[in-house]
Structure 1
């Protein structure tokens, strides 16, 4: 699978997760009867089943008959879902939500949803029972985007690690053999200075070797590298081109950091917050700038559902731009005379009646689906890259508010 296809699949998976999470957050139970279970990938399914069985037994002590019944029904449903899995859950683990939600009019409806392989690994087993499903850990996974390399060093020690979302992972460390500035007796000042420079150079090479070993293999997924330490150490390290040339191009900033042990990695992230924030939406900004430039010239840009869909079918869209906050469905209608028409509606609203624009006959609903899924399926078939655009900057907001959340950068001008 190509890198572009892998990224498209990842974007689609995150969007599907986001949709389910938004749906789950709207559910409400009467009392503490909505069950959420977070299962790490290294947790044996048999242990989870045993835990659920124990919770089912303890739920018999709940005083309210309705709450007792609903909790036990939810736990039974979870056990039924667990039967589909072997010894361990899928990669990154999984989350199961189950419970009786308020359906209005004093009625309840049992809901059970399973989310497999979340964007980041589930770190610990968690059982939660409340009037709302526990979705915050998954929400953090979706907002914690980005993979950054971290390097902190002075002439005594160095640490190298990752920033994955908001998680800092120290990986490698080294201590130097660089002598202090005071030379030992019997050595000339010139010889001592030369030996000290050689030791510094050797240490910088060692640090670069650690970074290269860790980062080069992930260079295509790497969003940037931050380097920290006192001056002039970090400047000497970067100016000396010790890093692999592809990593050198990934450095997005250097920062003054007092400590160079593992705590220095955290200090580096704190110092680099502004650079990290800019980096997260930099690609979105570049794409939207390209879109507006093309739109201004009247060529190689499309927007809105109808125009963008036609260009997608023609295969002329190079990059499909979709707002992260778009929540709409596309309804496909067909009239008695065989005319087919599409209408985009709010995903939260019921399907409206429709009159055929060609013959004025009443049209019937043939299908209703998520508009993003609809467009992404066409994009996949035509080899078009899909990118979700954040609304955390002005042009990202304009994509949603002024262009309906749908646009495209074209491969060539089509006049459509």
Structure 2
């Protein structure tokens, strides 16, 4: 994936994350919040027919309030589906609609349609409950990149991918390695030699299978996991059978009992801690460089105002934003036409703002701070990195530096 593609993907994921967080705050007084997941190969006409059928069956709901709310939600969804032709967009659609509680016995109808989620919607799903179903969508946002998987023993091997949270078995092979008991007529020494040769040939076959799959994607991969019994996996890795560029990105090796597709799943389960550490290490590398520049160099910036000014100048190479930053930026316009900015907690109301001449400024715009900064970054060719708070330096970015920092291309004194 190109850098521009990665940045657009990061932005789209953040936009989806914002919607998920909003939807998770909603609740209905009954089972009146409707969620529909539509895969890209599902005809819109079939979805409309299903919604129409559900609308009809909803007339049997005993509670008048719930019945009306469900039917109104389904009508709203049906209206939204009219905007699509034969099939949904790439990766499918997710639709949410329902009467949410707003307090004091009042409700408000909410309808949201999310097009082209980060990963394909795998199957059609209709869900009606007191909360919107967001877990499948949230799972798509778990970013573990592209990980190569290899499981093997001396009789069988399987290679595949971990893409996000999806495990795909791609190739498998069986060996001709003889058992440990030799046949009659063979000397023990000859049998042992033939067995070692067979093991070596099988390891070469497995490596060729893995190299054919992984090497074309080596620059896009985040690493490789290897699983199997001891000493098989150790012999395989210690023997340098893998392509040298693939060998260099092996994250770790793990004991697993199976070497078929179920072995790939067992390998991923065993590697959860290592994968989490691997993701954090990528973020830690960014923060280590930031702190080095902050303490020893002059290519670090932090805080909303300074980072924004550097972004506008085009001097920021990488924009570092905390994944947990939840702020809005308010743009004020003064009588002389100048603009001033203020960073606010998303939950707070917009305050009045005094200009330098003492007059009250006009609120020009209030928007999400991350989207505001990313828009400037994209215009200036600046890369954006979201930093986890699951390690000390990432937590410092949020709490000590306001969740916003940058590594500069050149010193600016700002």
TM-score, normalization by structure 2: 0.95
Partner of residue 152, structure 1: 151
**2:161/2:169 contact within 8 Å kept:** yes
Provide the rounded CA distance (Å) in 2 between the counterparts of 1:388 and 1:173: 37
Partner of residue 393, structure 2: 395
Partner of residue 45, structure 2: 46
Gaps of 5+ in 1: none
Provide the rounded CA distance (Å) in 1 between the counterparts of 2:297 and 2:193: 63
1:355 partner SS: coil
2:294 partner SS: helix
Aligned pairs (5 A) from 1:7-406: 7-143=6-142, 145-356=144-355, 358-406=356-404
Provide the rounded CA distance (Å) in 2 between the counterparts of 1:133 and 1:267: 31
Q: Deviations over 1:212-249 (max 9, x none)?
A: 23222332332111111223322222223222222111
Provide the rounded CA distance (Å) in 1 between the counterparts of 2:175 and 2:84: 49
Q: Which moved more, 1:113-122 or 1:182-191?
A: 182-191
Q: CA deviation at 1:105?
A: 4.3
Provide the rounded CA distance (Å) in 2 between the counterparts of 1:367 and 1:355: 16
Provide the rounded CA distance (Å) in 1 between the counterparts of 2:367 and 2:381: 21
Q: Which moved more, 1:178-187 or 1:106-115?
A: 178-187
Q: Deviations over 1:58-116 (max 9, x none)?
A: 11122333322221111111112212223322232221001122234443222111112
Q: Which moved more, 1:125-134 or 1:101-110?
A: 101-110
Provide the rounded CA distance (Å) in 2 between the counterparts of 1:187 and 1:368: 83
Count residues with an aligned counterpart: 414
Provide the rounded CA distance (Å) in 2 between the counterparts of 1:266 and 1:73: 42
Q: Deviations over 1:31-76 (max 9, x none)?
A: 2211101112222222211110100011112233332222111111
1:102–1:267: structure 2 CA closer, same or farther, 3 Å change rule?
A: closer
Provide the rounded CA distance (Å) in 2 between the counterparts of 1:184 and 1:232: 24
Q: CA deviation at 1:259?
A: 2.8
Partner of residue 408, structure 1: 406
**2:144/2:275 contact within 8 Å kept:** no
Q: CA deviation at 1:346?
A: 1.5
Partner of residue 4, structure 1: 3
Q: Which moved more, 1:325-334 or 1:302-311?
A: 325-334
1:14 partner SS: helix
CA RMSD of aligned residues (A): 1.8
1:374 partner SS: helix
